[in-house]
Structure 1
Amino acid sequence: MSHTTAAPDAAAGPTTAAAAPRRPGLERLGPLPWIAPAVLLILLVVLWPVYEMVHTSFLRISSSGFVRGSAGLDKYRKLFGETDLGHVLVSTVIWTVVVVALTMLLSLALAQLFNQQFPGRRLTRWALIAPWAASVLMTAIGFKWMLNQTAGVLNTAMTDLGLIDGPKDWLGSPTTAWPWMMVVAVFVSLPFTTYTLLAGLQTVPGEVYEAARVDGASTWQTYRKITLPLLRPAFLVGVVINLINVFNSFPIIWGMTQGGPSSATATTTVFMYQLKDTDIGESAAMSVVNFALVVLMVLVFLKVSRWNEEES
């Protein structure tokens, strides 16, 4: 009796094991349903505007916004024939390099400070968020009022202290406007970069420092051989994001000088905005050049920094 019952079960076993399970329709798509919203967002927010930007740069568009036909490469020829383009490009490079370099150096010092234990550390950490939380344009306009020639706080204070003979138009000349705009750019960039480096510092295991002390390493040797190499990934993230943000910075310059006089204090981003008043197609061509420059700049930096190579 038992032998008869077991036989069908034994025969059914291989059949059941051999049958491949049927996967539901969504499972066959794998992770696509989960990443589809992000892909769609990238297409709509990034790629579509880039396409429209490039397309517009080859059109003749009236000042009222009507398309008058194809312009071919005329807008690019007109752009590269602009007398102001050369000094705007040089100013943009200087602006980007100086602001990013100062931001990273000051952020590194602040991150080291905030990584130590001292009274009021939590309060100072929160205070550093203020420039980041505030509107960049609002901050730029606030500094513009402070530097105002007739009613600015800076002129009043420096005149009362006898540091200057009379009020100065700090934003009226490129020689004084550029340094002040750089100060504001560093001021608003510090919070993000400092917290990025601080997060990197806090991932360094304490046992590594203890081992260095046991081996007799000095403070400078420990910092150079342990802290900086382990901080490299966070440092690279801070530099890359700052390069993109500073290169494309618009509110600070526009809020303080509007790129003037003429284009003397304009970067390529501000210059692009100035061109739209006379030729939308040329402005679009400048935006294409801007896009290419920032991509090239980031790729060159990543190549030079060897971001994907391990430390030897």
Structure 2
Amino acid sequence: MQQTVALKRVGRALQPWAWIGPAVVLIAVVVVWPVVVMIQSSFLKISRFGVVNGFNGTANYEKLFAEPDFGGVMFRSLVWVVAVVALTIVISLGLASLFNQQFPGRRVARWALIAPWAASVLMTSIIFKWMLDPGVGLINIILHDLGFLDAMGGADADPLGKASTAFPWLIFVSVFVSLPFTTYSLLAGLTAIPADVYEAAKMDGAGRWRTYWSITLPLLRPALTVATLINVMNVFNNFPIIWAMTHGQPGYSTATSTIFMYILKGSDIGESAAMSVINFGMVIVMVAVFMKVSQHKQEVAR
């Protein structure tokens, strides 16, 4: 009798694992194990053909930090993430507020916004690269007709050939492809705000801007937090846009740490693995800092 009761207790204790077990195994195989291998590889001496030649200590990290372009790449990565995420959130807030209103053609406008999201990021990047072609690119032709190319070097100006013009265009394309998801995430948050909250604010005499700052934004904070976190991770790890449009050139002037990591893989896999570890650590730190700041703001608001 006692043995039967004990078996039932064990069965009840193990029952939840029947549901979460597959997810745990998937995370362990797809996430945890690659991270372990990545960290392990960063301390190994690996040839460009993938042959392990033994333990290499911290030599890979020392070589990485000694790279003349390492500092510029890391600073550019930070600028890249802050600029793209900030612009995406600000523009998406405006679009979400607009699409939350009733106006003629709202459904068509909503569907039109999905287009950049539905298309492949790589395909979108290649299209923009073609449109910025110095000879036959549509954007260059329009800029030439408007007389803007004279300030950029004349009719043969190559917007992607100089860091001063290429990097802003990369940021523009990244914001362009990030807007649909972010806008719809914030729009979902706006539609979840109860209408009676706005009615109470109106009865209290609150104006439009006062209502937006004191009611809409605080109630939209969960959606904003999720959208920002996802954008930070996606933008930091973004590869197709920069690689398809500039390959990180000229030099490393448009390369972020992800592009730099990929380029290093062609000559030193161990050094590339060390760069991967740095990238992984930066993502963890950025997410932790953002969550800490968001939590502090919520506590202050309370």
Give the TM-score normalised by the residue count of structure 1: 0.90
The answer on 1:110 being equivalent to 2:92 is no
Q: 2: distance between equivalents of 1:51 and 1:290?
A: 14
Tell me which residue corresponds to 1:248. 237
Alpha-carbon spacing, 1:162–1:48, altered in 2? closer, same or farther (3 Å): same
Task: Name 1:60's counterpart in structure 2.
Answer: 45
Task: Kindly provide the CA deviation profile for residues 177-216 of structure 1, in whole angstroms up to 9, marking residues without a partner as x.
Answer: 0000000000000011111110110111100111111111
Judge which range, 234-243 or 19-28, deviates more: 19-28
Equivalent position of 1:4 in the other structure? none
Task: Tell me the CA shift for residue 164 of structure 1.
Answer: 2.5
Q: Deviations over 1:7-44 (max 9, x none)?
A: xxxxxxxxxxxx96973864341311100111011001
Which of 80, 83, 86 is the equivalent residue of 2:68? 83
142, 161, 167: which one pairs with 2:127?
142
Pick the structure with greater CA Rg.
1
Give the SS at the match of 1:129.
helix
Counterpart in the other structure of 1:183: 172
The residue number in structure 1 matching 2:203 is 214
Amino acid at match of 2:223: A
**SS of the residue 1:55 aligns to:** helix
Distance 2:127 2:62 in 1: 39
Deviation at 1:296, TM superposition (A): 0.5
The answer to whether the Cα contact below 8 Å between 1:159 and 1:167 also exists between their aligned partners in 2 is no
Q: What is the CA deviation profile of residues 239-261 of structure 1, one whole-angstrom value per residue up to 9, with x for unaligned ones? A: 11111111111111001000011
**Partner SS, residue 129 of structure 2:** helix
1:50 aligns with 2:39: no
**Cα distance in 2, alignment partners of residues 292 and 21 from structure 1:** 45
Spell out the pairing of 1:229-248 with structure 2 (5 A cutoff).
229-248=218-237
Structure 2 partner of 1:121: 106
1:285 aligns with 2:270: no
**Alpha-carbon distance, 1:262 to partner:** 1.9
In the alignment, which of 276, 293, 302 is matched to residue 304 of structure 1? 293
Contact 1:156 1:167 in 2 (8 A): no
Deviation, structure 1 residue 130: 1.0
* Percentage of matched positions with identical amino acids: 58
Structure 1 SS opposite 2:205: coil
Give the drift of 1:307: 6.5
1:160 CA displacement: 2.7
The code of the aligned residue for 1:285 comes to A
2:260 to 244, 251, 271: 271
Partner of 1:195: 184
CA distance in 2, matches of 1:112, 1:225: 15
Matched, 1:34 2:13: no
SS at match of 1:91: helix
Q: Which amino acid aligns with 1:138?
A: M
Distance apart, 1:219 and its partner CA: 0.8
Give the conservation status (yes or no) of the 8 Å contact 1:75–1:285: yes
Q: Which moved more, 1:74-83 or 1:158-167?
A: 158-167
Give 1:124 deviation, angstroms. Answer: 1.1
The residue type equivalent to 2:57 in the other structure is G
Tell me how far apart the structure 1 counterparts of residues 148 and 284 of structure 2 sit (CA, whole Å): 44
Shift of 1:158: 2.1
User: Can you give the 5+ residue segments of structure 2 that lack an aligned partner in the other structure?
Assistant: none
Cα pair distance change 1:22/1:73, threshold 3 Å: closer
Task: Return 5+ residue gaps in structure 1 as ranges.
Answer: 1-18
SS at match of 2:54: strand
Separation of aligned partners in 2, 1:204 and 1:185: 29
Q: Give 1:122 shift.
A: 1.3
- Structure 1 residue 231, shift from structure 2 partner: 0.5
SS in 2 for 1:31: helix
Larger helix share, 1 or 2: 2
Q: CA deviation at 1:309?
A: 4.1
For normalisation by structure 2, the TM-score amounts to: 0.93
CA distance in 1, matches of 2:129, 2:272: 27
How far apart, CA to CA, are the structure 1 residues paired with 2:280 and 2:29? 17
Distance 1:157 1:295 in 2: 42
Pairwise CA distance, 1:119: 1.4
Moved more, 24-33 or 54-63: 24-33
Whichever residue aligns with residue 59 of structure 1, its letter is L
Please state how far the C-alpha of 1:163 moved relative to its aligned partner: 3.1
